[in-house]
Amino acid sequence: MAERVVVAGAGHAAGQLVARLRAEEFAGEIVLVGDEATLPYQRPPLSKAYMAGEIGLERVLLRNQAFYDDNNIDVRLNTRVDAVDCDAKSVTLNDGEKLEYTHLVLATGTRVRELPVAGAGLSGVFYLRSLGDADGIGTALKTTPRVAVVGGGYIGLEVAAIARKAGCEVTVLEAMPRVLARTTTETTSAHMTELHAGHGVWICTGAKVASFAGDGGQVSGVVLDDGELVPAEVVVVGVGVLPNQEIAEAAGITVNDGIVVDARGATNAENVWAIGDCTRHPSALYGTTLRLESVHNAMTQSRVVAANIAGKSIEYNEVPWFWTDQYDAKLQSVGIPDGHDQTVVRGDPAAGAFTVFALKAGRVVAAESVNAMREHMDCRKLAGAQAEVAADVLA
Ligand SMILES: Cc1cc2nc3c(=O)[nH]c(=O)nc-3n(C[C@H](O)[C@H](O)[C@H](O)COP(=O)(O)OP(=O)(O)OC[C@H]3O[C@@H](n4cnc5c(N)ncnc54)[C@H](O)[C@@H]3O)c2cc1C
């Protein structure tokens, strides 16, 4: 058989991988198998400009059909990889077809974590992962007076901002003592809370959801564990994701809250690689393994694996990087602030443009910048090197 790369999943990482394979002059067959109906697309706009109706599908797609035709990439949409046979080096698709591979790339992403509470099946309860989800929420916001967002993470807060801009009354229900608790410092959390409050969003922390109340099959509110009812005609739940690792696990590939890869992006099965949100990779910088959910991670792992399939030998060793847009604030974060023992603020949060440095034993382990894009480029270098910098120099 001629060389053939089969890619399971056709999301952001996969779309980038196939383009990089051709850029690396990989001349063999490429088959891209995705279970969604759409060519590989970017998810970040789904909770930003696309949901707000400011851009259309053409701006969300990574590339158009002509790119795949011109580059001889066989795209199979609405198709699932159901099983992997690492010994036979083949995959089985949901229509029964068996496809042999010389290299297999798992790019299956994640799926939303669902809240297992009473009323979860009511109409008006939404989750956000796909284009269809964004279309459903965007349409519902046009006629909805009250929206409850469950989860004060990045996606929840972005949806809150869009809903507010659409004129809805918005409540964010966060179980932790502060929003963005998993990802940012207290300083940045406090700033984002104030930003939303200033736009009229009510943020309720320490709020644990007990159930969804309904009326005639339609959601009418969120019931908290203390019995309080938060009325809402639309509920958007954003409480995290789970890696799509089942086909790997069933094939005997090592998983551990993510498909385990080495620094080259290789799994423990011969010629099977994994990229993007579904992976758990080693981080030399943090001396541990990480599962990241970010475009930067998906893009960089795709570049590394494409180069390795094409015969190079390169390793992934990146500092995590993420951004979010809410109202007129662009928040960029680099590094992981876990366990920091000092923060230094540069700039003026009250003026809406600043950077927070998180330090551990005098070294910069993370930095969060709001509307300070140029400064953030330097932050990426500092956090990437875990540089030792005196607080008065950072401020
Ligand atoms: C609303 C939203 C906003 C976001 N905003 C940001 C942001 O501002 N900044 C940022 O850095 N990141 C953001 N992200 C995260 C970013 O979009 C992801 O990190 C990125 O999409 C990961 O790409 P991926 O290819 O690994 O996974 P995905 O894009 O999820 O693609 C995986 C694809 O594989 C398919 N699939 C799964 N199993 C199979 C199978 N067995 N067979 C065939 N197909 C399969 C899935 O249906 C999916 O289409 C956001 C995500 C969402 C949902």
Residue-wise pLDDT for 35-46, tens only, equals 999 999 999 999
What are the per-10-residue average pLDDT scores of the chain (395 residues)?
A: 94 98 98 98 98 96 98 98 98 98 98 97 97 97 95 98 97 98 96 98 98 97 98 98 98 98 98 98 94 97 98 96 96 95 95 96 97 94 96 94
Which residues are CB-contacts of 347 (< 8 A; sequence separation ≥ 6)? 353, 354, 355, 372, 375
Which residues are CB-contacts of 30 (< 8 A; sequence separation ≥ 6)? 4, 5, 7, 18, 21, 22, 71, 72, 73, 74
Tell me if 11 CB under 6 Å of ligand 1. Answer: yes
**59 alpha carbon, distance to own chain's centre:** 18
Instruction: Take atom 30 of ligand 1 and give the residue whose Cα is closest.
Output: 109
34 CA distance to ligand 1 middle (Å): 12
Instruction: Take atom 31 of ligand 1 and give the residue whose Cα is closest.
Output: 11
Tell me if 253 CB under 6 Å of ligand 1. Answer: no
Instruction: Tell me the two tokens of residue 306.
Output: 């494409």
Q: What is the pLDDT of residue 115?
A: 96
pLDDT cut 70: percent of the chain above it = 100
Q: What is the pLDDT of residue 2?
A: 86
Instruction: Take atom 52 of ligand 1 and give the residue whose Cα is closest.
Output: 43
Report the distance separating Cα 305 and Cα 287, nearest Å: 21
Instruction: Take atom 9 of ligand 1 and give the residue whose Cα is closest.
Output: 323
Tell me if 133 CB under 6 Å of ligand 1. Answer: no
Q: Which atom of ligand 1 is nearest to the CA of 321?
A: 11
Q: What is the pLDDT of residue 179?
A: 98
Domains assigned to the chain: 4-111+241-309 (3.50.50.60), 114-237 (3.50.50.60), 328-394 (3.30.390.30)
110 CA distance to ligand 1 middle (Å): 6
Tell me if 332 CB under 6 Å of ligand 1. Answer: no
Q: What is the pLDDT of residue 390?
A: 94
